[in-house]
Amino acid sequence: MIPASRLSLNTATVRERWDLRACVDGCVRHGIGGIGPWRDKLAEAGVDEAARMISGAGLRVSGLCRGGWYTAAGALTDAVLDDNRRAVDEARAIDAACLVMVVGGLAPGSRDIDGAREMVAEGLSKTLEHARQAGVPVAIEPLHPMYAADRSCISTTAQALDLCDALGEGIGVALDVYHVWWDPALAAQIERAGRERLLAFHICDWLVPTRDLLTDRGMMGDGVIDIAGIRALVEAAGYDDLVEVEIFSSQDWWTRDPDEVLATMVRRGIEAS
Helix (H) or strand (E) holding 210: none
Contact string 32-51 vs Zn ion (x = CB under 5 A): --------------------
From CA 166, how far away is CA 1, in angstroms rounded? Answer: 35
* Residues found in the chain: 273
Helix-strand-coil split of the chain, %, nearest 5: 50, 15, 35
The torsion of the CA quartet 97, 25, 58, 169, rounded to 10 degrees, works out to 0
- In angstroms, what is the minimal distance from the CB of 24 to Zn ion? 20
**Number of residues near Zn ion (by CB under 5 A):** 3
Site for Zn ion in 54-73 (CB under 5 A): none
CA distance readout (Å), 38 to 14, 149, 220? 11, 22, 21
Site for Zn ion in 166-185 (CB under 5 A): 176
- In angstroms, what is the minimal distance from the CB of 186 to Zn ion? 15
From CA 209, how far away is CA 211, in angstroms rounded? Answer: 6
- The neighbour count for residue 139, using CB atoms within 10 Å, is 27
Site for Zn ion in 235-254 (CB under 5 A): 246
User: Cβ closer to Zn ion: 84 or 152?
Assistant: 152
From CA 264, how far away is CA 177, in angstroms rounded? Answer: 18
User: Cβ closer to Zn ion: 59 or 174?
Assistant: 174
- In angstroms, what is the minimal distance from the CB of 258 to Zn ion? 19
From CA 6, how far away is CA 201, in angstroms rounded? Answer: 11
- In angstroms, what is the minimal distance from the CB of 115 to Zn ion? 25
Site for Zn ion in 190-209 (CB under 5 A): 202
Site for Zn ion in 129-168 (CB under 5 A): none
- In angstroms, what is the minimal distance from the CB of 212 to Zn ion? 16
**What does the longest C-alpha to C-alpha distance in the chain come to?**
48
User: Cβ closer to Zn ion: 70 or 201?
Assistant: 201
- In angstroms, what is the minimal distance from the CB of 36 to Zn ion? 8
User: Is the sign of the CA dihedral 247, 252, 258, 261 positive or negative?
Assistant: negative
User: Cβ closer to Zn ion: 98 or 107?
Assistant: 98
90 in contact with Zn ion (CB under 5 A): no
User: Cβ closer to Zn ion: 107 or 152?
Assistant: 152
- In angstroms, what is the minimal distance from the CB of 58 to Zn ion? 24
Strand partners, 202: 176, 244
Report whether 233 contacts 203 (CB < 8 A).
no
Say if strands 138-140 and 34-36 run parallel, antiparallel, or are unpaired.
unpaired
User: Cβ closer to Zn ion: 12 or 107?
Assistant: 12
User: Cβ closer to Zn ion: 107 or 261?
Assistant: 261
Q: Which residues bind Zn ion (CB under 5 A)?
A: 176, 202, 246
